[in-house]
Every structure is written in structure tokens, then in C-alpha cells.
Structure 1
């Protein structure tokens, strides 16, 4: 995982997931989790972008 990916996972979790997986259910889950709360979105982004 590059430093850019780590920073995107922290500051813009849906964008990091989109760049790796494209527009799909994984992105939508990340977007919803980030809208509910920032921390769940960050955790999901780190898990998905291993």
C-alpha cells in the first residue's frame, strides 16, 4: 500500500475505494459508511484496500 493510498484512506475513504475497485457495491458501502460516520468509512477503506 502506497503512502498516497494510506492518505486517501484516511481523508477521503470513498475516493480510495473507487480508485481501487471502481464504481460498484464496495464503493457504495464505503460512501454510506463515511456518511454515517468518518471512522467506519476509514476502517472499511483500510480493510478493502489491503
Structure 2
């Protein structure tokens, strides 16, 4: 797994590569490529936003807290769940 510091360095040089690392190939990557073509800094803002959401949700999930709704403007399930994938967020809740 890519460490956060390495991911930030990659994102500074090439924002779409940083987005691909956390979101994979999908709508978020396409949006970031378009924003990077339109201007270097809009691509950075979008990439760092996705990375922030990814690591924030990952930290919340590790503490047993789960986001109530989807983050606005994020289309990747991997980012929305903090890398937990499909169905694993509900599995982490303790059984009663």
C-alpha cells in the first residue's frame, strides 16, 4: 500500500496518478484529467480533496465510526468507504 507521504509527493507532480492510486479508473480519474488539462491547480485541488476524503473515511472506519452519507463530488466507492470495499463497513459493526 502506498503511504500517505509518497501519495502526496506523487500528486504534487502528477495529480491524475494520485487520484488513480486512491480511486482507481473511473469517473473521478476522468474528472481529474480534465481539470488538470484545464489548469494544473484545479487538478491538484480535486486530487487532494479525494485523498483527504479517502484517508479521513479510512481513519473513521478504523475507529468504528462510519460516515452517514456520501461525500459530495466523489464517485469512487473506494474513496467513499476509505478503501474498505463493498459490504465491509457493515461487517465491522459489533453483533448484538
Q: Which has the higher contact order (CA 8 A, sep 6+)?
A: 1
Tell me the distance in 2 between the aligned counterparts of 1:4 and 1:44: 17
Stretches of structure 1 that go unaligned for 5 or more consecutive residues are: none
Q: Secondary structure at the match of 1:23?
A: coil
Q: Secondary structure at the match of 1:49?
A: helix
- The correspondence of residues 1-50 of structure 1 with structure 2, limited to 5 A, is 2-50=4-52
TM-score when normalising by structure 2? 0.50
Tell me the distance in 2 between the aligned counterparts of 1:8 and 1:40: 16
Show CA shifts across 1:4-30 (max 9, x none): 111112111001101111100000000
Offset, 1:43: 0.6
Q: Secondary structure at the match of 2:25?
A: coil
TM-score when normalising by structure 1? 0.91
* Higher helix proportion (structure 1 or 2): 1
| Runs of 4 or more consecutive aligned structure 1 residues displaced over 6 Å after TM superposition | none
Stretches of structure 2 that go unaligned for 5 or more consecutive residues are: 53-96
Offset, 1:34: 0.3
